[in-house]
Amino acid sequence: MEKGVRKNPYKKDREGGSLTQVMDFVKQRSDYYFLYKDNDIKNTKGINVNVKNGTIKQLLDQALAGKNISYSIENKTITLRKNNVTSQKAEKKIVVMFGKVIDKAGVPIPGASVFVKGTQNGMSTDIDGKFEITSLPTSKPIVVSFIGMQTREIPLKNGEYNVVLVDRQTRRTSCRFSKL
């Protein structure tokens, strides 16, 4: 079974549905989310699915059969893209940046805000200060902030990082982060 493909069985029997309905079905029954361009999936109708006790992969294989759309599953992200020569040449990998937000003493900071600058793609760190950002490649940095701490901007890159936030009173101008 592919990495990230849920083992729980999916049951779906539908003719003439839309791709949006299939995506809603998957999102309601799993913790996966979709990454796509609206123009790539616009007007994708006539979806016929008949899956009993199947995986997400089997469901998507049937839903996209004969459509000019392909998909990939990485971690909890299902990326949909239109199949054509132009998009295949311009195909970009997904960037997954994860790690911990800590203070200068190495203590995790739960509830810190971590997001791609200028977007709504982000999250708050969990109780252990951990985060994971999944994005298409961009030149926009990741912004990390927490009340009473200096906001930091760091480049969006694949890999695991510790992001150290310092108190606002501390006059450091650099952001210390390290790839693990």
For residue 115, the cross-strand partners are 122, 143
pLDDT in tens, 86-142: 444 445 578 888 999 999 899 999 999 999 998 888 999 999 999 998 888 788 899
Q: Which residue has the higher pLDDT, 180 or 43?
A: 43
CB atoms within 10 A of CB 63: 25
The predicted pLDDT at position 1 comes to 39
Residues of the chain with CATH 2.60.40.1120: 95-179
Per-residue tokens: 25: 């079905």
Q: For residue 56, report the phi and psi dihedrals to the nearest 5 degrees.
A: -60, -40
Average pLDDT value for residue range 64-89: 75
Q: In CATH, what class is 95-179?
A: mainly beta
Which tokens belong to 149?
């701490």
User: Residue 4's pLDDT is what?
Assistant: 39
The CATH 3.55.50.30 portion of the chain extends over 10-89
As a whole number, the mean pLDDT across the chain is: 79
- On whether the CB atoms of residues 25 and 32 are closer than 8 A, the answer is no
Asked if 122 contacts 110 with a C-beta cutoff of 8 angstroms, the reply is: no
Predicted model pTM? 0.46
Which residues is 49 bridged to in the sheet?
14
CATH number for the domain formed by residue range(s) 10-89: 3.55.50.30
SS3 content of the chain, % helix, strand, coil (to 5): 15, 40, 45
